[in-house]
Chains A and B, each alone.
Chain A
Amino acid sequence: MSERSRHALIWAWTLAVLVFIYLPALCILLASLTASRYFLFPIQKWGLDWWRKTFASIEIHQLFETSISIALCVTVVAVVIAFFGALAFARYNWKGRTLFQKIVLLPIFFPQSVLGLALLLWFNAIGLQMSWMTAVFAHLVWIIPVVTLVISIQVYSFDPALEEAAFDLGASRLQVFREVTLPVLLPGIVSGSLFAFLLSWGNFPLSLFTTGADTTIPEYLYAKMVAGYTPGVPVLGTVSTFGAAIILLGGYWLITLRRRAQT
């Protein structure tokens, strides 16, 4: 087989897998655009009624509020802790570093449903009332390590000579941090925040056991799915799929713009 046809095959395979990946999202989009109560394909009557009804519902507003509050809190805390964690992970050469790297990975390599249950037992043992705030904590256990890895990748390509040059030129520790370290690592921090927000927004297994009386969007969707068909499910599903796509593409675009501005 020639190099050329081999590459064509790899392209074809990759595109086929992408179709496979986006097929369910397409089905959900189609289902959200039917006017009828049940989903029948090919669609007889198109309409946006279910979109209107879903967005008019007060219950849905409540869900959005809970999910966004959790995701925002998770993002802020995760990025701060993970930023320093990433410096320890990739920047400084210290005695416990390889052990630290492996400890950080453990929560990622752990079944999330079991982690959710473990946190439920732990909160119960110390007498904590479950609410969206305990869910923030639960999300953090999994998301901080992920964000640490994401920022670490940026930190690996960071040249400490820049910091030392700034020190030599008489900058204070705070100045170096604000004027050198932070701007250089900014793309890593931006992608870390995107990861934190979106992973928290879409998380189900950890929320399931730790939100108590509050409900997030993935939990609501799950409850509706198990109970039977509601046209609100495809609407919310479409919103969360395209929401994630827009946020990520936007973030990617911002990072490329910045990179272009720098060179």
Chain B
Amino acid sequence: MAALHETGRGLSQGARNALPLLLFLLIGFAAPLIAVVAYSFMPARSFGLIHPPTLENYAEVFTGNSYISFTWSLLFAAITVFILALICYPIAYGLARVFGRWSPILTLLFTIPLFVSENVRLYGWILFFIKNGVLLGTLKSWFGIEPESWLFTRGIVLLGMVYVYLPFMLFPMTLGVSMVPNETREAARDLGATRWQVFREVDLPLSMPGIMIGLLLTFVLAVGAIAEAKVLGGQTIIPITHDIEIAFTYAQNWPLGAALAVLLMLVVGTLVILVLKRFDLDAILGRR
């Protein structure tokens, strides 16, 4: 806490520095969300906000079968998060504890894909899995076997999601794991704890803030995923975001799309606020 201005002047200075950002988020984030809520109460297929409010869109959502897409989205997001947690924990541990001077360059290698449009990266998987592509072409010419292509299956959609959201799990998790003091771990070892006990009683609870942020972030992003199901999945699953997009484009029914978006926002928003409320961001991001 030494790194702080604890004077009366610092108080107003902080608010002054925050002001441009807050104003921007007011017109760029809060206002659009209010616009969505307002549109969701407009009559079906209207494009303005001038009509008397109605609940017909919500009635349509609850009587229709959007719950199927909702379930797919939530289910796939949950599975993605679970797989990612298992894949990323050893890497996060490695980046924080094992790799030493190689850590920055490895982190960089994990960062680069984040900046390439996810379309492009998913397209690479198409080239890999497609008939006569990298995988099947190799199998054919080397071993003479020709299995069915795995494209357009649910498994591939899941692979795409795990692939795209990996960095979003890895980085918060690494921050979390590096918060565990080595002394605590060694002390536990010295007192006779087994490796498993150290993991369960020391590593896991102390790195929990970072892990939780990673879980939350990947879950939220995965619920909003759209390209994976479209590019890799054909039409095997229809996520809720696809329903929303259809309502806005082909169906030209903005109010219905808005109502679906509001429900998605409610699910995501509740989760985010519940989790974020519990965490001290200063501790996670490295205030000394």
Known contacts A94-B10, A218-B117; 13 additional CB pairs below 8 A are A10-B94, A24-B123, A24-B127, A28-B123, A85-B17, A100-B18, A109-B268, A111-B224, A113-B224, A122-B35, A205-B226, A226-B230, A234-B127
B-facing residues in A104-125 (Cβ within 8 Å): 104-115, 117-122, 124-125
Q: Which of B49, B112, B285 contacts A90 (CB 8 A)?
A: B285
* Alpha-carbon separation in the docked complex, A180 to B247 (Å): 53
A148 at the interface (CB under 8 A from B): yes
Interface flags, A130-161, vs B, CB<8A=1, else 0 = 00000001101100110011001100111110
Give the residues in chain B near A158, CB-CB below 8 Å.
3
Partner of A94 from the list B11, B216, B226 (CB cut-off 8 Å) is: B11
Q: Which of B91, B115, B119, B138 contacts A221 (CB 8 A)?
A: B119
Binding site for A on B (CB under 8 A): 3-6, 10-15, 17-18, 20-22, 24-25, 28-29, 31-33, 35-36, 38-39, 47, 49, 87, 90-91, 93-95, 98-99, 104, 106, 108-128, 130, 132-134, 136-138, 141, 163, 166, 216-217, 220-221, 223-224, 226-227, 230-231, 241, 244-245, 248, 254, 257-258, 261, 264-265, 268, 272, 276-277, 281-282, 285-288
> B227 — which chain A residues lie within 8 A by C-beta?
204-205, 222
Determine whether the beta carbon of B120 is less than 8 Å from that of A240. Answer: yes
Cross-chain contact B141 with A156 (CB below 8 angstroms): no
Q: Is the CB of B35 within 8 A of A118?
A: yes
User: Which residues of A are found within 8 Å of B241, using beta-carbon distances?
Assistant: 111, 113-114
For residue A10, give the distance in angstroms from its CB to the closest CB of chain B: 4
Q: Which residues of B contact A87 (CB under 8 A)?
A: 14, 17
Knowing A10-B93, A28-B123, A88-B17, the reply to whether A114 touches B224 (Cβ < 8 A) is yes
With beta carbons under 8 angstroms apart, the residue of B134, B248, B272, B285 that contacts A149 is B285
- Per-residue CB contact flags for chain A residues 45-89 toward chain B (1 = under 8 Å, else 0) read 000000000000000000000000000000000000110110111
Name the distance in Å between A22's Cβ and chain B's nearest Cβ: 8
Whether the pair A25, B124 counts as a contact (CB closer than 8 A) is: yes
Contact across chains for A41 and B32 when beta carbons are under 8 A apart: no
Between A and B, 21 residue pairs with Cβ closer than 8 Å are: A7-B98, A9-B90, A10-B93, A11-B94, A14-B90, A28-B120, A87-B17, A90-B285, A93-B10, A93-B11, A109-B217, A119-B28, A119-B32, A125-B39, A141-B25, A149-B285, A156-B286, A156-B288, A202-B114, A222-B119, A248-B108
| Chain A interface (Cβ < 8 Å from any Cβ of B) | 7, 9-11, 13-14, 17-18, 20-28, 30-31, 39-42, 81-82, 84-85, 87-98, 100-115, 117-122, 124-125, 137-138, 140-141, 144-145, 148-149, 152-153, 156-160, 198-199, 201-205, 209, 217-218, 221-222, 225-226, 233-234, 236-237, 240-241, 244-245, 248-249, 252
Once bound together, how far apart are the Cα atoms of A217 and B110, in whole Å? 23
A93 close to B116 (CB less than 8 A): no
